[in-house]
Structure 1
Amino acid sequence: MAEASRTAPSPTNSVCVIGPQYCLPYPIEVGIVKKVMTISDGNFVVMDANGNILFKVRGALLTFVHERRVMVDATGNPIVTLRSKFRTVHDRWQVFRGESTEQNNMLFSAKTSSILYLKTKLHVFLVGNVTEDVCDFRVEGSWFDRSCVVYLGETSTVVAQMKKKHTVGSVLLGKDNYTVTVHPYVDYAFMVAIILILDEINHSGQ
């Protein structure tokens, strides 16, 4: 895994967290559809611009102290596991490779620094960032407007942007339909996982 630099992603300096196959040399736009009623496919489906399924998210598995979701590819192979810990001071999620929740398979963690006055701020720390003095990525924007930007660390370098998209399909098939534009050489699976965490955090209090 290449640690993120403070400079814009490039062919020799890509943002690769989950896997190099998700780092494309051109921008990619993905749609994240949140369903209202599901049976077995989970409550999120992630598609590319042509409507091809990239990822699905399995429904929550609840324990006494954790909530867990698994993001799988189109064929059902687990990509990452997202796990939150209940009753923490900050909403905090940990993301692990595959279906593991072992610390040696952790990829990154995320915690809120603010969800006040409809404004969202999420700090993301890669696993090698032990002190967490400075975040590796941050998300800022308005969740109410479904408009958020993912930045590289504390810089002004944008790596992805999210906006709400209203379509007939979103009205008929789901509650929300987000569009996420991921910049070149940025791990789009990683960006999707961050947006999914944002959704869970912002809906947990509703």
Structure 2
Amino acid sequence: MAASGPIYTANSPIPVDLFVSKKYPGLTRGDIGFADSSGDVIYRVNRTQHQSKSNSSQRRKRVVVVDSAGNPLISVYRQDKGLWQGFKGDDGEEKELIFKVNRTMKTLTRTEFEVFLVDENSEDSASHFTMKGSPFQKSCTIYRGNSIIAQTSLMYKLQQIYVRRNKFRLTIFPTSIEPAVIVALVVIFLD
């Protein structure tokens, strides 16, 4: 009698877990670290203020996703209340737009966003992803259509009455989207 069930090959892609905390060694105050299961920080997120070149008196909130070697990968600027834009690198100029994020719902217990990836040839009007969840519970699920591409969850332990929210898990499921983009989206969700 043959057993029926999924067959996993050695080269099939598996989800990747990153552990998110502000308490990793080497992080400065205000930085957030995304570490692998060995505790090595893969991504670091810096929060800064940025002076707008068009209006020298205007300062905008900026988040920079940096890799383990210190190279800036993505700069995220908060445009207005509920609007963000992500640019490639961090040269101080907004040159290569990667994505736009628009908050569509915000209540006490639920927040939802639409994410628009920017194509080099044209800007699509349909959203590519949706993010839904509760920032207070560190619960965020990123969907592409009906498929989950990433999800955050608190770190529960057996026999623990109170679950601390200072460290949580980000699970990235196999996808063609660069993990740094997913990290930037999670930071936007928790902002």
Range into which the TM-score falls when normalised by the shorter chain:
0.7 to 0.9
Question: For this pair of structures, how many residues does the alignment match?
Answer: 163
Name segments (4+ residues, structure 1) moved above 3 Å: 38-42, 100-104
Pairs within 5 Å for 1:71-86: 71-85=65-79
Deviations, residues 39-96 of structure 1 (Å, cap 9, x unaligned):
74652111011111101122312432411121111121111111112xx3x4111111
The aligned counterpart of 1:105 is 96
Unaligned runs of at least 5 residues, structure 2: 1-11, 52-57, 158-163
Is the counterpart of residue 178 in structure 1 residue 168 in structure 2?
A: yes
The alpha-carbon distance between structure 1 residues 46 and 39, as it changes in their structure 2 partners (threshold 3 A), is: closer
TM-score, normalisation: structure 1 = 0.70
The aligned counterpart of 2:152 is 162
Is the counterpart of residue 146 in structure 1 residue 138 in structure 2?
A: yes
Larger Rg: 1 or 2? 2
Which letter maps to 2:172?
Answer: V
Aligned-pair CA distance for 1:130: 2.5
Please, what is the CA RMSD of the aligned residues?
2.5
Deviations, residues 144-176 of structure 1 (Å, cap 9, x unaligned):
222121100xx2111111112268xxxxxx972
Q: Which of the residues 24, 35, 58 maps onto 2:46? A: 58
SS in 2 for 1:192: helix
Contact 2:140/2:186, CA 8 A, preserved across alignment? no
Rounded to whole Å, the distance in 1 between the matches of 2:129 and 2:91 is 23
Deviations, residues 15-46 of structure 1 (Å, cap 9, x unaligned):
xxxxxxxxx932100011135xx974652111
Rounded to whole Å, the distance in 2 between the matches of 1:42 and 1:106 is 25
Aligned-pair CA distance for 1:124: 0.6
The alpha-carbon distance between structure 1 residues 51 and 105, as it changes in their structure 2 partners (threshold 3 A), is: same
Percent identity of paired positions between Structure 1 and Structure 2: 25
Is the counterpart of residue 130 in structure 1 residue 157 in structure 2?
A: no
Is the counterpart of residue 33 in structure 1 residue 25 in structure 2?
A: no
- Structure with the larger strand share: 2
The alpha-carbon distance between structure 1 residues 39 and 55, as it changes in their structure 2 partners (threshold 3 A), is: closer
Aligned-pair CA distance for 1:106: 1.0
Unaligned runs of at least 5 residues, structure 1: 1-23, 168-173, 201-206
Aligned-pair CA distance for 1:102: 4.5
SS in 2 for 1:190: helix
Is the counterpart of residue 196 in structure 1 residue 187 in structure 2?
A: yes
Is the counterpart of residue 44 in structure 1 residue 37 in structure 2?
A: no
Which letter maps to 1:27?
Answer: P
Rounded to whole Å, the distance in 2 between the matches of 1:39 and 1:56 is 8
